Amino acid sequence: MSKITDLNKIVENGDFENVEAAVQSCLDDGIEPMDVLNEGLVEPINQLGEKFANGDIFVPELLIASRAMKQGAAMLKPLIVSEDNPSMGKAVFCTVEGDMHDIGKNLVVMLLESAGFEVEDLGMDISPEAVVEAVQNDESIKIIGMSAMLTTTMYAMQETIEALTEAGLRDRVKIMVGGAPVHEDFANMIGADGFSTNAPTAVDLAEKLIAQ
Binding site for another protein (CB under 8 A): 52, 55-60, 100-101, 103, 107, 150-152, 155, 180-183, 185-186, 197-200
Nearest to residue 209, comparing CAs of 120, 117, 107?
117
- Is 97 in contact with 156 (CB distance < 8 Å)? yes
What single-letter amino acid sits at 34?
M
Nearest to residue 93, comparing CAs of 135, 59, 150?
135
Q: How far apart are CA 4 and CA 168, in angstroms?
A: 47
Instruction: Give me the least distance between CB of 48 and another protein, in Å please.
Output: 12
The residues that bridge with 94 in the sheet, in sequence order, are 123, 146
Nearest to another protein of 93, 186 (CB atom):
186
Instruction: Give me the least distance between CB of 43 and another protein, in Å please.
Output: 22
Nearest to another protein of 1, 100 (CB atom):
100
Nearest to another protein of 8, 153 (CB atom):
153
Instruction: Give me the least distance between CB of 193 and another protein, in Å please.
Output: 20
Nearest to another protein of 5, 197 (CB atom):
197
Nearest to another protein of 7, 62 (CB atom):
62
Instruction: Give me the least distance between CB of 205 and another protein, in Å please.
Output: 15
Other Cβ atoms less than 10 A from the Cβ of 17: the count is: 10
Instruction: Give me the least distance between CB of 111 and another protein, in Å please.
Output: 9
The residues that bridge with 95 in the sheet, in sequence order, are 147
The residues that bridge with 153 in the sheet, in sequence order, are none
- Is 48 in contact with 61 (CB distance < 8 Å)? yes
The residues that bridge with 143 in the sheet, in sequence order, are 91, 174
